[in-house]
Structure 1
Amino acid sequence: MEQLVISNASLKDLSVLQQIGRETFAETFAAGNTEADMKKYLEESFSDERVTNELNHPESFFFIAWEGERAIGYLKVNTGQAQTELREETSLEIERIYVKKAYHGKKVGQLLYEKALEVAQLQHKSSLWLGVWEENPKAIRFYEKNGFITFDKHLFKVGNDEQTDLLMRKILAE
């Protein structure tokens, strides 16, 4: 693997983020969802309007993992009112760590997670939190390995299907 570089993403990266988002979400979750639910979710979640609004939100931050000229994953973190649920001023939400399937097991997800941790520390946050599908044991193990513990659950809709996400938190050293 070539050297991996993580860069800040901006509006100029809209199509790259959409492509990675659609591809990785489908790779990871298509088998556990109907085609109609996946289609609806991908269209709504990665529309031009939605991703543009997310990129323009002053409390959301995107980072792209590059291998040479190839975008292979991305991270989205939220603070303040951009957080999807808790909206705690002292917390940073990891909303997405998406890595193309061909790069699983190559530490790309770990490097993106470490970028989230760096952002949290620079912003003096006391914890990181996220939601992860209860039927995604690989991701749950990844977060547990990085010190996250489950503290609650919430519903997450994929199309018209309501699914359960585990809410996980990592307390950061003061």
Structure 2
Amino acid sequence: MNIRLIQCATESLDALQTISRDTFYETFHEKNSEESMTDYLNDAFSVEKLTAEIKNKHSLFKLLYVNEELAGYLKINTDEAQSEQLGQETLEVERIYILNRFQKLGLGKVLMNEAIKLAHEKNKNKIWLGVWEKNLNAIAFYENAGFEKTGSHSFFMGEEEQKDFIMTKHL
């Protein structure tokens, strides 16, 4: 299995938008209404929003390719780009998304290791993330990676308020 991580730039916007929409839909559509999913996908992964995120110097996307096929991606945030302000010493892992057919191949660990490497390069001593309280597989993955629940915050899927656990790992 040939694995490559490529930093996403605006030239890769179409690929980023497709993988973002596909992975999010696969992961969450069964537990959310179609209307909420459509509203969220159209807002969160719009060309305008993704372009602004790619251009933000405090955010970074890495596209994950397996045997030349786009399988998933990582998004990290630092400083004011973080969705919660948890301090200058922290790095947020906003997204680790992998298409279903590529799961259980160790690719989540590849993306997490990349996030940890980037945190070290940016002199951050903590990594944190938000994970939906009902996403038990992801919670187990993060716990196995050394993350602990340290709080919670609201996440809105369309008009519906959901709860995300905040999980933190000290480096």
Measured against the shorter chain, the TM-score band is: over 0.9
Unaligned runs of 5+ in 2: none
**SS at structure 2 position matched to 1:115:** helix
**SS at structure 2 position matched to 1:128:** strand
1:84-117 C-alpha deviation (Å, 9 max, x unpaired): 1125210000000010000010011110110000
Tell me if structure 2 keeps the 8 A contact 1:6–1:66: yes
Tell me if structure 2 keeps the 8 A contact 1:79–1:87: no
**Pair 1:53 & 2:52 matched:** yes
Q: Give the aligned partner of residue 88 of structure 1.
A: 87
Q: Give the aligned partner of residue 127 of structure 1.
A: 126
Q: Give the aligned partner of residue 117 of structure 2.
A: 118
Tell me if structure 2 keeps the 8 A contact 1:81–1:87: no
Counting aligned pairs with the same residue, the percent is 39
Q: Give the aligned partner of residue 36 of structure 2.
A: 37
Larger displacement relative to structure 2 (8-17 or 46-55): 8-17
Q: TM-score by structure 1 length?
A: 0.96
Tell me if structure 2 keeps the 8 A contact 1:64–1:71: yes
Q: Give the aligned partner of residue 70 of structure 2.
A: 71
Matches within 5 A, 1:8-27: 8-27=7-26
- Tell me how far apart the structure 1 counterparts of residues 124 and 62 of structure 2 sit (CA, whole Å): 18
Q: Give the aligned partner of residue 4 of structure 1.
A: 3
Alignment RMSD (CA, Å):
0.7
**Pair 1:102 & 2:101 matched:** yes
Amino acid at match of 1:127: K
- Tell me how far apart the structure 1 counterparts of residues 86 and 56 of structure 2 sit (CA, whole Å): 14
- Tell me how far apart the structure 2 counterparts of residues 162 and 92 of structure 1 sit (CA, whole Å): 25
Larger displacement relative to structure 2 (65-74 or 76-85): 65-74
Unaligned runs of 5+ in 1: none
**SS at structure 2 position matched to 1:116:** helix
Q: What is the count of residue pairs matched by the alignment?
A: 171
